[in-house]
Amino acid sequence: MAVSQTTLWNLISGILGVICLLLMTTMGILLKNLLLTESIQPTLSPGPITELQKGSDCCSCPKRWIGHQCNCYLFFDELKSWTESRDFCASQNSSLLHIQNRDELRFVSSSKYFYWIGVYYSKENGTWLWENGLALPQDLLQTIQTFDTKKCVIYSSSHSVLDVSCEDKSRFICKQELM
């Protein structure tokens, strides 16, 4: 009787050992695939591949960009100066965010951070302008008229705008206009 119990326990131990090996192998394969998938993810450069984004209304945006009212937006968490941000957006065939209306203002207000926006003070015109040369709508960012004209502007989701040194590092939003 003692021999049959030992044989039974050896059999059970062997089966449990095989199950453990199978589980460890499965976990190893799953972790390897997970890490490999993460390392293949696209970098900040969206590349030429485009696909229709959810909620884009009518536009086809590059991967990782968000479509809204026929424009594409890319929110960057990387911290850069205003000039570095503007130049990076330009390298992506876009510009720093410029807000055209209240709906767009609400759309970009979903974040909790401050972002560089594409506004600058034009000494030539004596006023603040968007990067593309258009004037700021009077009803959007009224407090900007009192800002230090030697500084740059950041925007937050609380509808706050601040003037800060253009050399400070901040997040930024690039915008591609498709229409």
Instruction: Read off the amino acid at residue 119.
Output: V
Enumerate residues 6+ apart whose C-beta is below 8 A from 133: none
pLDDT at 24: 86
Query: What's the CA gap between 121 and 145, in Å, rounded?
Result: 10
Query: What's the CA gap between 133 and 78, in Å, rounded?
Result: 26
**Dihedral sign, CA of 130, 62, 75, 168?**
negative
* pLDDT of 83 above 90: yes
pLDDT at 4: 74
pLDDT at 23: 87
Query: Does 57 or 151 have the greater pLDDT score?
Result: 151
Q: How many residues does the chain have?
A: 179
45-65 pLDDT, tens digit each = 333 333 444 444 456 888 888
99-141 pLDDT, tens digit each = 887 787 777 776 678 889 898 888 888 888 888 888 877 667 7
pLDDT at 86: 93
* pLDDT of 39 above 50: no
pLDDT at 1: 55
